[in-house]
Structure 1
Amino acid sequence: MRKTRVICFANNKGGSGKSTTCSNVGYGMTELGNRVLLIDGDMQMNLSLSLFDEEKVLEFAQGSRNLYEGIKRQDDLRDYIVHSPYENLDLLPSSTLMSSIEYELFTKWQREYILKKGMKNIVESGSYDYILIDAPPTLGGWVMNVLCASDEVIIPVESTPWGLFGLGNMFEFLEEVRQIAPDLKLGGIVITKVDTRKNYFKQTLETLKELENVKVFDTYIRVDSAVEWSQDNNAPVIAYKKNSRSAGEYMELAKEITGQS
């Protein structure tokens, strides 16, 4: 039985394309024959909205079957998983109440490992080849939980003048987390929102390539209106418009991450 690989998508800067990358890479992995669980760890619930319409997402958020309730009760998170409309792609939905998750964690014993403990039976069951977690754009106790529950972290960085802002803080935070989770790996950086007509991409790429021991994925994600249309239709772009440029790029990224071709 193949070991379940847990990957989180994290960046303390908002607007980096974390949720979109997480959703589309997850769907792309299923196209490559994998079973995938997506975990929505952000109160904005964008990952949940990439698979379900707003009415259904709010139903999850206001009910008892969401990540916040599972963490608050320190339950086995298997009981909070919902099936998505897509084959081999499941979701552990979020809630707007995730905004108060730091308070819930504050009083808990070994609070950095609550998500990891909740995921234990999911990981050990081998039900999924990959578990992808969308982390909120913050650095705190909850993101530390997400990182401690992961085998590796992928950092989406947008190709804009402010895209690299705060990346140093992210690296410092990863080093802090490694004090208690020494096996956590930096899977790499993926450049998003690329407009090849502008110099920002070249500058971003050159700056990132100068970083020591940091992998930058060969595949980058260009700006494409198909992504916005797919979001408007609550679907991964690969499912919504398979022949679009961004669908092809996310498929290539999924192959690069999994090592499959």
Structure 2
Amino acid sequence: MKTIAVINLKGGVAKTTTAANMATLLGTKYQKNVLLIDNDPQGNASQFFDCYRKDEKCGAAKILDRERPGIFTDVAAGVDLINANMTLLEADNELRTSEDRQDNRFAEYMEKAASIYDYCIIDNPPAILICTINALCAADEVIIPVRLDNWSIDGVEVITEQIETLKALNSNLKIAGILLTDYKKSIENEAAEEWLRKNCKYNVFSRRIRHSDKAVSATYYKQPLETYSPRSAAATDYRKFMEEYTGTKKA
């Protein structure tokens, strides 16, 4: 099983949109068994797939507490989901004060899930919490969505430094690449992209995810882009991105 952490320390860069659409494309186009873990106390991925349960201890919190998480099966073709809500933050805070090892709870769970799934995608919060560290310690690869503005570009250096530090705990962890999201053609964006591609020491994926109003509308209707608007710019770009990422072209 390949485990992919989707992360950026800045909000509003399409982390959840990227995680959700990667998962659904892997399930539908690539016929893979996928586990999507919502690791953000805000629970956006859980809400997107109608798995948000405000008054119940969420699955991600149970993983931190070494309990068996509930799994929402078939939230999309080939995709199961472990949900999140604010109880994840409570579990996170409690784990911080524990004298036990704190960074290996997700890795322990992944060992159990590895025989069931081909891919695990973890949607992370825009903060380095204990649950974030757990995700990165369990991941094989990291994808960093970036929206081209000054603050996001600055944030790339911060998050990549954090990831490099965590390699002391997870020597297999690598940064798969930077994914440009919500891209609008402008002089400023072209300049920012050129600078990033020249100066970033990590891979910047060739495929950009263009801005699309359909991407916003899809969140209201709680449908992946591939279902809601497969001909939209963003849907097309996510398909092309997955071809680039997997190295496999799909019709």
State the one-letter code of the partner of 1:6: T
Secondary structure of the structure 2 residue equivalent to 1:183: coil
Deviation, structure 1 residue 219? 1.0
Measured in 1, the distance between the counterparts of 2:150 and 2:173 equals: 29
**2:58, 2:88 within 8 Å by CA — same for their partners in 1?**
no
TM-score, length of structure 2 as denominator length? 0.92
Say if 2:85 is the partner of 1:95.
yes
**Which residue does 2:45 correspond to in 1?**
47
Mapped to 1, the partners of 2:175 and 2:147 lie a distance apart of: 17
Q: Distance in 1 between matches of 2:223 and 2:109?
A: 27
1:222 to 210, 229, 232: 210
- How far apart are the structure 2 equivalents of 1:14 and 1:212? 20
Does 2:46 align with 1:57?
no
- Please show how residues 113-124 of structure 1 align to structure 2 within 5 Å: 113-123=104-114
The match for 1:147 is 136
Q: What is the alpha-carbon distance in structure 2 between the residues aligned to residue 259 and residue 128 of structure 1?
A: 20
Q: Which residue of 1 aligns with 2:192?
A: 204
With CA pairs under 8 Å and 6+ residues apart, which has the higher RCO, 1 or 2? 1
Give the deviation of 1:223 after TM superposition. 0.9
Mapped to 2, the partners of 1:57 and 1:8 lie a distance apart of 20
- Going from structure 1 to structure 2, the CA distance change for 1:115 and 1:108 (only over 3 Å counts) comes to farther
1:70 equivalent in structure 2: 63
CA contact (8 A) 2:57 2:87 kept: no
Q: CA deviation at 1:168?
A: 1.7
The secondary structure found in structure 1 opposite 2:103 is: helix
The one-letter amino acid paired with 1:84 is D
Tell me, in whole angstroms, the C-alpha distance in 1 between the residues paired with 2:8 and 2:229.
27
CA distance in 2, matches of 1:250, 1:108: 42
Q: What's the CA shift for 1:76?
A: 4.2
1:155 Cα deviation after fit: 0.4
User: For the structure 1 residues 22 and 200, does the alpha-carbon distance in structure 2 shift closer, same or farther, using more than 3 Å as the test?
Assistant: farther
Structure-1 separation of matches of 2:78 and 2:8 = 27
Structure 1 64/259 Cα, relative in aligned 2: closer, same or farther at 3 Å? Answer: same
Structure 2 distance, partners of 1:179, 1:19, is 27
Equivalent residue in structure 1 for 2:13, among 16, 40, 64: 16
1:92 Cα shift?
0.6
- Give the TM-score taking structure 1 as reference length: 0.89
1:142 and 1:43 map into 2 onto residues whose CA distance is 10
Corresponding residue number in structure 1 for 2:220: 232
**Change over 3 Å in CA distance of 1:212–1:223 after alignment to 2:** closer
- Verify the 8 A CA contact 1:82 1:90 in the aligned structure 2: yes
Q: Is the 8 A contact 2:6 2:122 kept in 1?
A: yes
1:234: Cα distance to partner? Answer: 0.9
| Distance in 1, Cα, partners of 2:57 & 2:7 | 26
How much identity, in percent, do the aligned residues show?
27
Q: Where do 5+ consecutive residues of structure 1 fail to align?
A: none
For the 8 Å contact 1:113–1:149, the answer to whether it is kept is: yes
Q: In structure 2, what residue type is equivalent to 1:63?
A: E
> What 5-or-longer segments of structure 2 have no aligned partner?
none
Q: Deviations over 1:136-173 (max 9, x none)?
A: 00123221111001001010000223321322211211
- Written as runs of structure 1 = structure 2, the 5 A alignment for 1:119-134 is 119-123=110-114, 125=115, 127-134=116-123
Among 235, 240, 251, the residue aligned to 1:252: 240
Shift of 1:108: 4.9
- Whole-angstrom CA distance in 2 between matches of 1:227 and 1:62: 29
